[in-house]
Chain A
Amino acid sequence: MGFFTDTSVCIGCKACEVACKEWNGVPEDGLDFTGMSYDNTQGLGADTWRHVAFIEQDKPIGNAESGIDHAGAPGNGATDMRWLMASDVCKHCTHAACLDVCPTGSLFRTEFGTVVVQEDICNGCGYCIPACPYGVIDQRKGDGRAWKCTLCYDRIGAGREPACAKACPTDSIQYGPLDELRERAALRVEQLHDLGVEDARLYGHDPNDGVGGDGAFFLLLDEPEVYGLPPDPVVTTRDLPSIWKHTGLAAAVLLGGITAAFAAHGRSGGRR
């Protein structure tokens, strides 16, 4: 099970952010004024499990025109402005780096294919935080443990949809079996392309990508990095064989070098 977030219908109401905080009892995480359009949340972290990004661009969406006559105004009556809004969340990666590197087994894969932290086990080592290629999981200040989206493990276990999907008034956040969501997402991209929204594309839907496909994937209207998403994330443990091999090699060089030095010098009292 997973999420399909269709950002083309997101209206930036932040109902998902609020619903998530309420349902999961996520504490307040500072009230900042950032000046980043309407985004004062800034990004995902220990106390933000859904984050709505706001991007203002000097460019229309597809063939959209306001219909208001701006004749005489610069731009020939065009309203070349679009607002991209996108609700970001933990991707629940098929190959999840956070889970791979967790030394306590606190992070685990659920029966729904999602990735969840067991808060009674996490010892706050912080390893999962720089391991996540998306910058999702983080340490909660004053608590010390790592926290992130659980895809409402408690709700979906009881046959309910996650709080964010439930609260989303436009169905920008859709919850369901991944293969069905992928099918529907492909149809939606086609529909948008037909409407002239040529920059519509899916992100994280491909099971052959660097993380084996995301359990939460997206329909975006611009490059991923514009939304603060990495363009080609790869699970760090894909290189693990090479990492261990080179670590072993370095250990062997250390041992060999020191042995050689002692062999060359011989017993004490001998050659200097």
Chain B
Amino acid sequence: MSEMSEGNESRVTREGVQGERPDREARIGEGLARRDGGRRGRRAEKAMVPEAEFSSSYYGLPILNPPVWKSLDIAGYFFLGGVAGAGSVLAAGAQLTGRPAVARALKISSLAAIAGSTAALIDDLGRPARFVNMLRVMKLTSPMSMGSWLLAAYGPAAGAAAVLDVTGLFPRLGGAATAGAAALGPLVATYTAALAADTAVPAWHDVHRELPMVFAGSATAAASGAALLACPVRETAPMRTTAVLGAALELAAAKWMEHRAGLVAEPYRKGKGGRFVRAGEILSVAGATGGALFGGRSRAAAALSGAALLAGSACTRFGVFHAGVQSAKDPKYTVVPQRERLAAAAEPSAKQSAL
């Protein structure tokens, strides 16, 4: 590199630094005089002012760059993936137990939902035309990559199940497609929780143990709701049960999540995220209860309960989405838990040195 003879070029080489600038070793803070005791005393007094619980951040700006995802696209993608995935499992169950109307309705709703979910995902890309790049690699560390492959397998299965059911063609192939969609469905419904959790967003990452259960419950409630909405009462008895199970799981997991996460769960109770979560709770409970009590008797009550369940699940996903964005925008949720972690890690060694 001897051709580089510019005056201000400094290089770190194995032989040491060459051509460094003179200010590199500036003796900053050396000062003109040592401080006298009186000044130190004054400073010590200052330190008596109790520190605010959270005082330091850079002009209150976020530390993270918040997600740029559009809420309608990505929360919609979470919701529709749940309707599709859980719906495929319910459809297979309905088919096996002699409930053809439910099986057909849910196969169709799963196909529509997965198409809508994929469309939302593509619409959210900065370069939609490059969607196929998702299938360029297969990475276990990227839930979005795994999800793309999952959709690539599940989509055709769900599509074939619906089309072959409606047309009545190739019943054995239709059965295989139904089974295939049902096998992949549970993951289609839950991997979006892994997708959100595998980020630095505090309200998503720090609840990575509970969030998949919330999504599983929410998806089950939503797909059960679709059946209640679309099918005759005589076939939907199991779906009224799964609606209750799903709503109960969604609520219990969400409560457990808020309890476990402490400060980081605050956005699930505050602001836009909090309002959506609350609405989701109310709608899910109303839908599940209404379905269980009246869904077996009145077609209208069943339809209304089903709609409430679907809306409740959608609200929950929007709530989770907005809570995450809120937690990324406020530096408090990034700094305070990390500070606590550092303090906790330092504690044993402090104890040891005190002994």
Q: Cβ of A45 and Cβ of B136 under 8 Å apart?
A: no
Q: Cβ of A254 and Cβ of B86 under 8 Å apart?
A: yes
Kindly provide the distance from the CB of A144 to the nearest chain B CB, expressed in whole angstroms: 2
Chain A residues closer than 8 Å to B212, beta-carbon distance: 246-247, 249-251
The stretch among B161-169, B279-287, B300-308, B335-343 that forms the contact with chain A is B335-343
A132/B65 contact (C-beta < 8 A), A104-B134, A239-B205, A268-B235 known = yes
In whole angstroms, how far apart are the Cα atoms of A258 and B124 in the complex?
Answer: 32
Question: In the complex, what residue of chain B is closest to A102 when comparing beta carbons?
Answer: B142
Q: Cβ of B200 and Cβ of A133 under 8 Å apart?
A: yes
Kindly provide the distance from the CB of B253 to the nearest chain A CB, expressed in whole angstroms: 8
Q: Cβ of B29 and Cβ of A195 under 8 Å apart?
A: yes
- Which chain A residues numbered 77 to 121 have a C-beta less than 8 Å away from chain B? 78, 97, 100-106, 121
Kindly provide the distance from the CB of B123 to the nearest chain A CB, expressed in whole angstroms: 11
29 of the cross-chain contacts (CB-CB < 8 Å) are: A8-B29, A9-B23, A43-B58, A61-B28, A62-B28, A101-B142, A101-B144, A103-B134, A103-B148, A105-B137, A105-B139, A123-B134, A124-B125, A125-B126, A132-B64, A133-B64, A134-B64, A135-B65, A136-B65, A169-B8, A229-B63, A239-B205, A246-B209, A246-B211, A247-B191, A251-B216, A254-B216, A265-B97, A268-B235
Q: Cβ of A100 and Cβ of B33 under 8 Å apart?
A: no
Q: What 0/1 pattern do residues 35 to 72 of A give for CB contact below 8 A with B?
A: 01001001111000000010100001111110100000
Please pick, from A64, A228, A242, the residue contacting B208 in the complex, using a CB distance under 8 A. A242
Chain B residues closer than 8 Å to A246, beta-carbon distance: 208-213
- Which chain A residues numbered 149 to 180 have a C-beta less than 8 Å away from chain B? 159-161, 166, 168-171, 174-177, 180
A27 within 8 A of B: no
Question: In the complex, what residue of chain A is closest to B338 when comparing beta carbons?
Answer: A232
In whole angstroms, how far apart are the Cα atoms of A33 and B201 in the complex?
Answer: 28
Please pick, from B23, B58, B210, the residue contacting A53 in the complex, using a CB distance under 8 A. B58
Q: Cβ of B89 and Cβ of A258 under 8 Å apart?
A: yes
A interface with B by C-beta (< 8 Å): 6, 8-9, 34, 36, 39, 42-45, 53, 55, 60-65, 67, 76, 78, 97, 100-106, 121-127, 129-139, 143-146, 159-161, 166, 168-171, 174-177, 180-181, 184, 188, 191-192, 195-197, 222-223, 225-233, 236-237, 239-240, 242-244, 246-255, 257-259, 261-262, 264-269, 272
B24 within 8 A of A: yes
A180/B39 contact (C-beta < 8 A), A101-B141, A129-B65, A170-B23 known = no
B21 within 8 A of A: yes
Q: Cβ of B341 and Cβ of A232 under 8 Å apart?
A: yes
In whole angstroms, how far apart are the Cα atoms of A53 and B127 in the complex?
Answer: 32
Most chain A CB within 10 A, of B85, B204, B237, is at B237
B194 within 8 A of A: yes
Kindly provide the distance from the CB of A208 to the nearest chain B CB, expressed in whole angstroms: 12
Kindly provide the distance from the CB of A196 to the nearest chain B CB, expressed in whole angstroms: 6
B interface with A by C-beta (< 8 Å): 1, 4, 8-14, 17, 20-21, 23-35, 38-39, 42, 56-59, 61-69, 85-86, 89-90, 93-94, 96-99, 124-128, 130-131, 133-134, 136-137, 139-145, 148, 185-187, 189-191, 193-195, 197-201, 204-205, 208-213, 215-216, 219-220, 234-235, 237-238, 241-242, 245-246, 249, 296, 324, 328, 331, 334-335, 338-339, 341-342
Q: Cβ of B137 and Cβ of A192 under 8 Å apart?
A: no
Chain B residues closer than 8 Å to A232, beta-carbon distance: 338-339, 341-342
In whole angstroms, how far apart are the Cα atoms of A139 and B125 in the complex?
Answer: 10
Q: Cβ of B63 and Cβ of A55 under 8 Å apart?
A: no
Q: Cβ of A231 and Cβ of B200 under 8 Å apart?
A: no
Q: Cβ of A127 and Cβ of B142 under 8 Å apart?
A: yes
Please pick, from B94, B124, B213, B338, the residue contacting A126 in the complex, using a CB distance under 8 A. B124
Q: A159-B1, A240-B140 are in contact. List 17 more A-B contacts (CB 8 A).
A: A6-B24, A43-B61, A45-B65, A60-B29, A123-B127, A136-B65, A168-B21, A169-B8, A169-B21, A184-B12, A231-B335, A236-B205, A246-B211, A249-B213, A254-B86, A262-B97, A262-B238
Q: Cβ of B63 and Cβ of A134 under 8 Å apart?
A: yes
10 nearest A-B pairs in the assembled complex, by CB-CB distance? A124-B126, A62-B29, A144-B126, A176-B12, A228-B58, A63-B31, A250-B212, A123-B130, A251-B186, A103-B145
Q: Cβ of B21 and Cβ of A42 under 8 Å apart?
A: no
Most chain B CB within 10 A, of A106, A125, A131, A249, is at A125
In whole angstroms, how far apart are the Cα atoms of A103 and B148 in the complex?
Answer: 9
Chain B residues closer than 8 Å to A146, beta-carbon distance: 126
Chain B residues closer than 8 Å to A137, beta-carbon distance: 65
Chain B residues closer than 8 Å to A144, beta-carbon distance: 125-127
Chain B residues closer than 8 Å to A226, beta-carbon distance: 56-58
Q: Cβ of A103 and Cβ of B335 under 8 Å apart?
A: no
Q: Cβ of B134 and Cβ of A64 under 8 Å apart?
A: no
Q: Cβ of B30 and Cβ of A195 under 8 Å apart?
A: yes
A100/B10 contact (C-beta < 8 A), A123-B134, A265-B238 known = no
Kindly provide the distance from the CB of B144 to the nearest chain A CB, expressed in whole angstroms: 4
Chain A residues closer than 8 Å to B99, beta-carbon distance: 268
Q: Cβ of A130 and Cβ of B30 under 8 Å apart?
A: no
Kindly provide the distance from the CB of A102 to the nearest chain B CB, expressed in whole angstroms: 6
In whole angstroms, how far apart are the Cα atoms of A128 and B287 in the complex?
Answer: 37
Chain A residues closer than 8 Å to B12, beta-carbon distance: 174-177, 180-181, 184
Chain B residues closer than 8 Å to A258, beta-carbon distance: 86, 89-90, 93, 220, 242
Question: In the complex, what residue of chain A is closest to B28 when comparing beta carbons?
Answer: A8
Kindly provide the distance from the CB of B68 to the nearest chain A CB, expressed in whole angstroms: 5
Q: Cβ of A135 and Cβ of B63 under 8 Å apart?
A: yes
Q: Cβ of A161 and Cβ of B11 under 8 Å apart?
A: yes
Chain B residues closer than 8 Å to A244, beta-carbon distance: 140, 194
